[in-house]
Structure 1
Amino acid sequence: MGIDLDRLFQAMARLVNGAPMDDEAVGCTFRGLMSTLMTFDYVVVFAYRGKERPLDLYSTFDAEDHVLFVSLYQAGPYLLDPFYHAARAPKPGVWRMRELAPDRFFSSEYYRTYYVQTGLAEEVGFFVPVSEQVTVVLSLMRREATGVFSATEFALLKKAEPLVAAFVRHHWAELDRRFDTALAKKGRGRRKAAHPPADGVWRHLNLTEREAAIIELVLQGHSSESIGLKLGISTGTVKVHRRNVYRKLGISSQTQLLSLYIKNLGQ
């Protein structure tokens, strides 16, 4: 696909005119700009702050796909998403999912039971920190029939990143206040926000801090070797902790572990 210069210049005119835009207009402008450069199937934009429920700023899904990609995702699976962890780091720039995913992500139970339902061949994200705590991630998604982004296309996205980042920071600079508002609507102040849904799971399941850290990494798709490197402990110690957790929870598989995790989110 060649670059559509007429549409590109029209999209850029909206970027530079400085007029206020709501979420829908910002998202549509981003989508229009990207569509002049290459094809893709979906766009979704989330804002992340800590372990709080991400804000859904914009998406192009139909009603059925919105349930899977947005509603179900916000209910808890986001906590295991490589994009979520990269946003928390943060890791500014343009990233492919496979660049950020743990070494066993594509064989993890989370991938098999949730992510594979999306039918995606690839997801690429622009990661834009807009404050000390908030990062906006603008994702371009391709289904399997469309195929992955080529090296040339990915290089073009990286060239567009400074423009996209400046646009996002201009229009989505006040997201901390919106996160605070979302918390207030749930009757939870900033103090209680220190205990997000995932932490509630571990308290409810009576795991130690070390056990919880290891099991979270297991669910994210890290191997025992990767977990050992991240936590500074031996692979053998990781395996011992995993066996102890499985025995404590009365389970014998990662399938049961993920089911228990999702079931107890927020309790």
Structure 2
Amino acid sequence: MVIDLETVFKTLASLIGEASPADADAGASFCVLMKAMVSFDYAVVFAYREKERPLDLYSTFTPDEHTIFVRLYQAGPYLLDPFYHAARALKPGVWRMRELAPDRFFSSEYFRSYYTQTGLAEEVGFFVLLPEGITVVLSLMRKEQSGAFTAAEFTLIKKAEPVVAALVRHSWADLGRRFSAALAKRGEGKRKSPHPAADRVWRNLNLTEREASIIELVLQGHSSESVGLRLGISTGTVKVHRRNVYRKLGISSQTQLLSIYLKNLGQ
């Protein structure tokens, strides 16, 4: 694909010296810049802060697609998303989903029951760090029919990172206030609450801290070996804890585990 430099320059010129644009205008500018370089099917922009529900800043979805990609995602599945965990780890740059995903992500129950609904072949994200521990992630998505981005396309996308980061910092400087306002609207109080919704799930299910740590990683798509390496324990110990959790919850599969987790997040 030939780069449309005229479009790139016009888009950049429109932003210089202007006040911070509205979410829709900033998102549209991002899409114009990207479409001048590569083709994609969807774009979405989320902001993340700690374990709080991500803010939906912009997307190109239809109403039905928005339900799957945004509303359903914000209801709880985001906590198992590799992009969410990279955002919380304050990991800037441009990343493919498969670069960030755990070793068993593509065979995990989260992937089978939620991610496959999106019908995506690939997702690439720009991760831009802002003050107050906030990360804005601008995702480009391709459907299965379109195929993944080629190596050349991904290299080109990465070259746009400085411009995209500048666009984010210019457009979304007030996200700390917006996160706090969203918390207040939901009646969740201060951001530093000792028991965020994700943590309350495990407390309400009477899991120990060690059991909760292991099960969270399992749900994210880590194998027992990967969990052991991350927590500094043996694979056998991980398996014993998993069996104990399943017995404690009266379940026998990861499908049931995910169902309990998501159900309790909504309480």
TM-score (norm: length of structure 1): 0.97
Note the C-alpha offset of 1:20: 2.5
Pairs within 5 Å for 1:60-139: 60-139=60-139
Note the C-alpha offset of 1:247: 0.5
Instruction: Give the length in aligned residue pairs.
Output: 267
Match of 2:2 in 1: 2
Note the C-alpha offset of 1:191: 5.7
Please give the per-residue CA displacement for 1:167-226, whole angstroms capped at 9, x wherever unaligned. 111211211111011111122221663422211210111100000000000000000000
Please give the per-residue CA displacement for 1:13-56, whole angstroms capped at 9, x wherever unaligned. 12324333010110000011001001000000000000000000
Match of 1:255 in 2: 255
Please give the per-residue CA displacement for 1:68-122, whole angstroms capped at 9, x wherever unaligned. 0000000000000000000000110000000000000000000000001100000
Pairs within 5 Å for 1:98-247: 98-190=98-190, 193-247=193-247
Note the C-alpha offset of 1:239: 0.5
Separation in 1, partners of 2:39, 2:157: 12
2:104·2:221 contact (CA, 8 Å) conserved in 1?
yes
Separation in 2, partners of 1:130, 1:147: 32
Stretches of structure 1 that go unaligned for 5 or more consecutive residues are none
In 2 relative to 1, CA 15–191 (structure 1 residues): closer, same or farther, beyond 3 Å? closer
Aligned-partner residue type, residue 134 of structure 2: V
Aligned-partner residue type, residue 49 of structure 1: R
SS in 1 for 2:39: coil
Separation in 1, partners of 2:152, 2:16: 26
1:196·1:266 contact (CA, 8 Å) conserved in 2?
no
1:47·1:57 contact (CA, 8 Å) conserved in 2?
yes
Aligned-partner residue type, residue 131 of structure 2: S
SS in 1 for 2:131: coil
Separation in 2, partners of 1:194, 1:169: 30
Separation in 2, partners of 1:108, 1:250: 20
Separation in 1, partners of 2:86, 2:31: 22
Aligned-partner residue type, residue 183 of structure 1: L
Stretches of structure 2 that go unaligned for 5 or more consecutive residues are none
The farther-off stretch of 35-44 and 17-26 is 17-26
Work out the percentage of aligned pairs sharing the same amino acid. Answer: 73
In 2 relative to 1, CA 246–105 (structure 1 residues): closer, same or farther, beyond 3 Å? same
Separation in 2, partners of 1:155, 1:236: 41
SS in 1 for 2:102: coil
Aligned-partner residue type, residue 48 of structure 1: Y
Q: RMSD across aligned C-alpha pairs, in angstroms?
A: 1.1
